[in-house]
Structure 1
Amino acid sequence: MAGTFSLRIVSPEGNVLKEDVEFAVIPGELGELGILPNHAPLIAGMDIGVLRYNLNGAVKRVAVAGGFVEVIENSAIVLADTAELSEDIDVARAQEARERAKKRLSTRTNEIDVRRAEYALRRAAARIEASVGKK
């Protein structure tokens, strides 16, 4: 790949990442978005998932949930509702959250907020996927 572009990921907690990367795949609301150097300007909504990027030939991962991405002037800025670098993810905690959400969904009662449980399940799955490096 020829060249790099600036990838910046920001969440309400602060700056998560700022690197010059070779390639990025972002979980968009309508599917994955591939970003290369000198990409055309773009603004898109993001979904829950794993953001992947190439840094010095190695694939790195970040679990993200919601937000927006803006690509302009050889720079991609991700404004995420939540974002966690793969190395910062507590896998045991994510697995516990996944099991809690599955249990809530399997016992659907009037007290259960199904939408919230589904969101928690998808977010836990993304965190686990980012931490173990699965595609």
Structure 2
Amino acid sequence: MTLNLCVLIPNRMIWYSEVKEIILSTNSGQIGVLPNHAPIATAVDIGLLRIRLNDRWLTVALMSGFARISNNEIIILGNDAEISTDIDPQEAQQTLEIAEANLSRAEGKRQSIEANLALRQARTRVEAIKVISY
């Protein structure tokens, strides 16, 4: 038995196919979803989306959003997302270093919040490329 997974961001569809299982980062922690999962709607946190195909896992850096799981269908509406194989490791590391520097220079509450968000996103992208697909 499989699940139908659709991952959408504002400018395109990231993923649409049958999958065996997913692991999703939500605002209350990670959840694993297998066929016949109970219906839920949940906020998605900045983090990794792990997708199990037949014999391998795929990793997606997901930048928050919402997910709906019902009748073996998963729809994820994300603010942004990148499949790990599409991320340039050198650019991701450089973005992480810039985000860390910006956070250390942030002045005021608003700059701190924005810099912290950028840092979480940069860390997620770096983490996505470091996860071993097996």
Question: Under a length normalisation based on structure 2, what TM-score does the superposition of the two structures give?
Answer: 0.92
Equivalent residue number for residue 38 of structure 2: 40
Compute the displacement of 1:11 (Å). 0.3
1:14-46 per-position Cα deviation (integer Å, ceiling 9, x unaligned): 110012111100000110011100111110001
Q: Is residue 60 of structure 2 the alignment partner of residue 62 of structure 1? A: yes
Unaligned runs of 5+ in 2: none
Compute the displacement of 1:102 (Å). 0.8
CA distance in 2 between partners of 1:111 and 1:6 (Å) = 41
CA distance in 1 between partners of 2:39 and 2:97 (Å) = 40
Equivalent residue number for residue 19 of structure 1: 17
1:63 maps to a residue whose letter is A
Secondary structure in 2 matching 1:57 = coil
CA distance in 2 between partners of 1:75 and 1:111 (Å) = 40
Distance 1:95 1:71, change over 3 A: same
Equivalent residue number for residue 95 of structure 1: 93
Secondary structure in 2 matching 1:124 = helix
Equivalent residue number for residue 51 of structure 1: 49
CA distance in 2 between partners of 1:111 and 1:29 (Å) = 22
Q: State which of 2, 7, 15 in structure 1 corresponds to 2:5.
A: 7
Contact 1:97 1:120 in 2 (8 A): no
Equivalent residue number for residue 132 of structure 1: 130
Q: Is residue 72 of structure 2 the alignment partner of residue 74 of structure 1? A: yes
CA distance in 2 between partners of 1:45 and 1:113 (Å) = 24
Distance 1:111 1:44, change over 3 A: closer
- The number of aligned residues is 133
Unaligned runs of 5+ in 1: none
CA distance in 2 between partners of 1:71 and 1:111 (Å) = 36
The CA RMSD over aligned residues, in Å, is: 1.8
Equivalent residue number for residue 29 of structure 2: 31
CA distance in 1 between partners of 2:8 and 2:109 (Å) = 34
Please list every run of at least 4 consecutive aligned residues from structure 1 whose deviation after the TM superposition is greater than 4 angstroms.
none
